[in-house]
Amino acid sequence: MSRAEPQTKKSKMASSLEQLKQITTIVADTGDFEAMKTYKPTDATTNPSLILSAAGMDQYQHLIDKAIKHGQKAGSTVDEKVSEAADMLFVLFGCEILKLVPGRVSTEIDARLSFNKEASIAKALKLIALYEEQGIQRDRVLIKLASTWEGIQAASVLEKEHNIHCNLTLLFSFAQAVACAEAGVTLISPFVGRILDWYVANTDQKTFEPVADPGVVSVTKIYNYYKKFGYKTVVMGASFRNVGEIMALAGCDLLTISPKLLGDLEQSTEPVKRYLDEELAKATKLEKIAMDEATFRWMLNEDQMSTDKLSDGIRKFAADGRKLETMLRGLIQAAK
């Protein structure tokens, strides 16, 4: 009997994913509903690339059909119909996701509006109105905007004047993070893996230990700064390349993780150690930065990695947005 006890204990050992959930809110970075059912995250994030991928799956055809019908009814010209259908498709995916997660869904503003504050505000208000028409309250939705100066200022207006919570994405630099905190946004999504990608491609060092990973170092500094100076904005690490990066950010407010890496964490029983801690953050030697538009633009300009990755990310999301519109345009024209 005593021999069987260690085996029983081993079989009941919590997975790395379950351990991580005890200290960090886990978010599914996917548009795939089945992955959400499997890994039971608290929240979910979407973007044009994820929606484009999911839209090609047969099981989501009914959502596309519904979006097309909405576009045909709401728009006058073909371009208007496509735009209306695209907005509705994002909202319909979000509504389905909210049936599976207890928390919030992030829905992204068209990347082509990244440098247009007023148009970003208008699009956000429209998306929230569509959600509310579907019976979803705005506190369950995060509006995702690119962390350009204009995107951050749009988020400030949405948060303060409309009580719309925002998730600032494509965040690669400390300047972007400070500007977001000063603007009072709800949440930021610093991109860990894409920072690593840049360093691997542009420096002589090709491998990094998890705690020395440039993306991990960046997010750790941002987290510590926020906690030290009492900002309410929370940090959600995103865009991971491996489990090591995730484990090295254990304790972060939230982590949004792809289904593949969620699966790897589920299969692992490696002990999870807390690396990010609010009390330890308050003891760090960080100086507070006074941020305005000129300072933001200069600091971003001086950071080649962040400048490269921000512009590249906007271009890629915009390209996938156009691909999604092309698909919807074909369906709308075929339905005439």
Q: Which residues contact 255 (CB under 8 A, 6 or more apart)?
A: 20, 24, 25, 26, 27, 236, 237, 238, 240, 246, 249
Q: What end-to-end distance do the CA atoms of the chain give, in Å? A: 72
* 301: amino acid identity, one letter: N
How many CA atoms does the CB half-sphere of 283 hold within 13 Å? 4
The DSSP letter of residue 191 is B
| Token reading at 273 | 């150690």
For residue 123, CA distances in Å to 158, 315, 325 come to 11, 19, 16
Residue among 21, 81, 117, 144 flagged as catalytic: 144
Nearest to 252 by CA among 80, 23, 13: 23
For residue 330, CA distances in Å to 68, 78, 88, 112 come to 10, 10, 16, 21
Residue 144 designated active-site: yes
Active site (catalytic) residues? 144
